């Protein structure tokens, strides 16, 4: 918890740690303040499901509570940015400030398209961005939508369809990774308005991309083929490395996250798997084992915990190091496709408490 003093509408005193500063010293510093606020952090994991309106939230990534989205979405993903969770869906974007209570806002349809499935969200440079990941007419140009508040959206054109998006180092980067659709396509943009096509180092289903504050890492695979990871500092120039491959069956690397000192990648597909991998640098990967055979779809990190969810099940898992995993249970069986984390900061006026 920290304290802030607001005098005549100006924040003139902040970042006093309630656990390390004597209460008398705090009181002395806030005398004559107009308003006193305490900033309190809340850990929130949020998961969403495909082709349904199911969502779930958790304070620790272990115990989950089910809630509802106001609409369905075929390619549901969820992210957090600027005090809001967002989850794009079919013609709409759902948004929430706490992960429990959601509202919908419509996105104006691109020209010539009657309905659009929005997905691949990201936040950066004070913008929410979502990509049109599936439409009724794939011969039409590909589109992105961007917003500064998650409420009013503007359409832009991209050079190709993509299924995952990340922001870092001043650039949005999109990759394409639908099942059975291997591709080298990628695109980047500094403003989500003007996009430039680019090429990944391997032909693969590049299903996921993330940024850890220093580098981008993307993961992908293909039908009975090698698994790949790719790394880039600028989202433009890429190098590739290998991910583990199971001895049999179909596996595609579908999600990647970074937390602490580890990268974690998750394998999913049409076969139930226990395959995952971790890395300390995003380049060299070591295979590890999930606690249950499932259609693992998404992994995230927050507050010292990796959390993962699986499709068409109640199966979830958590880990403190990305190596040893413990199975847990989601609060409803659904087509869980995405999980994210946020530390929400709420400011509470506490004048009367001092």
162 and 47, same domain (yes or no): yes
Residue 171 structure tokens: 């650039």
Given a cut of 90, is residue 276 above it in pLDDT?
Answer: yes
In a domain, 351, yes or no: no
Residues 6+ apart with CB under 8 A from 352: none
Cα dihedral 294, 300, 302, 307, rounded to 10, equals 0
DSSP result, 38-64: EEEEEEEEEEEETTS-EEEEESSSSS-
The answer, yes or no, to whether residue 31 has pLDDT greater than 50, is no
Between CA 265 and CA 219 the distance in angstroms is 7
**Is residue 260 packed enough to be buried (19+ CB in 10 Å), middle (13-18) or exposed (0-12)?**
middle
Query: Could you tell me the residue range of the domain that residue 222 belongs to?
Result: 43-343
CA 38 to chain centre: 28
Residues 88 and 164 in one domain: yes
| Spatial contact of 24 and 18, defined as CB atoms under 8 Å apart | no
Residues 263 and 338 in one domain: yes
Q: Are residues 166 and 238 in the same domain?
A: yes
Q: What is the mean pLDDT of residues 305-318?
A: 97
In a domain, 58, yes or no: yes
| Domains identified in the chain, total number | 2
Q: Based on the fold, state whether residues 21 and 93 are members of the same structural domain.
A: no
Q: Domain containing 134 — which CATH number?
A: 2.120.10.80
List pLDDT tens digits, range 49-91.
Answer: 998 899 999 999 999 999 999 988 887 899 999 999 999 998 9
Give the highest mean pLDDT range of 66-80, 215-229, 253-267: 253-267
Residue 165: pLDDT above 80?
yes
* Same structural domain, 20 and 83: no
Domain assignment present for residue 348? The answer is no
pLDDT of residue 18: 38
Distance CA 207, CA 54 (A): 22
Is 300 found in the same domain as 170? Answer: yes
pLDDT tens-digit profile of 90-135? 899 999 999 999 999 999 888 767 778 899 999 999 999 999 986 5
Kindly state whether residues 236 and 260 are assigned to the same domain.
yes
**Domain match, 9 and 108 both:** no
Q: What percent of the chain has pLDDT over 90?
A: 66
């Amino acid at each position: 918890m920290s304290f802030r003093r607001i005098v005549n509408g100006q924040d003139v005193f902040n970042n006093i740690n309630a656990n390390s500063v004597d209460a008398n010293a705090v009181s002395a510093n806030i005398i004559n303040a107009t308003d006193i606020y305490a900033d309190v952090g809340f850990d929130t994991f949020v998961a969403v499901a495909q082709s349904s309106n199911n969502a779930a939230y958790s304070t620790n990534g272990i115990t989950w509570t089910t809630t509802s989205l106001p609409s369905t979405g075929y390619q549901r993903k969820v992210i957090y940015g600027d005090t809001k969770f967002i989850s794009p869906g079919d013609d709409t974007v759902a948004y929430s400030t706490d992960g429990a209570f959601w509202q919908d806002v419509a996105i104006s349809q691109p020209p010539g398209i009657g309905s659009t499935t929005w997905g691949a969200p990201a936040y950066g440079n004070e913008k929410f961005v979502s990509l049109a990941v599936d439409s009724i007419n794939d011969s039409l140009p590909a589109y992105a939508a961007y917003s500064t508040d998650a409420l009013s959206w503007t359409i832009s054109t991209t050079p190709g369809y993509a299924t995952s998006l990340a922001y870092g180092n001043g650039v949005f980067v999109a990759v394409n990774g639908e099942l059975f659709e291997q591709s080298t396509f990628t695109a980047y943009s500094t403003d989500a308005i003007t996009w430039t096509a680019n090429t990944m180092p391997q032909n693969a289903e590049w299903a996921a991309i993330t940024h850890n504050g220093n580098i981008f890492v993307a993961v992908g695979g293909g039908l009975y083929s090698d698994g790949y990871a790719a790394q880039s500092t600028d989202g433009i120039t890429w190098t590739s490395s290998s991910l583990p491959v199971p001895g049999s069956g179909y596996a595609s690397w579908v999600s990647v996250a970074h937390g602490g000192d580890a990268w974690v990648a998750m394998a999913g597909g049409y076969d139930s798997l226990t395959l995952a991998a971790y890395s300390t640098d995003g380049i060299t990967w070591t295979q590890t084992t999930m606690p249950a055979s499932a259609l693992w779809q998404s992994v995230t990190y927050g507050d010292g915990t990796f959390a993962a969810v699986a499709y068409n099940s109640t199966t979830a898992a958590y880990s403190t190091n990305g190596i040893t995993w413990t199975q847990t249970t989601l609060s409803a069986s659904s087509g869980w496709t995405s999980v994210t984390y946020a530390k929400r900061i709420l400011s509470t006026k506490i004048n009367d408490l001092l």
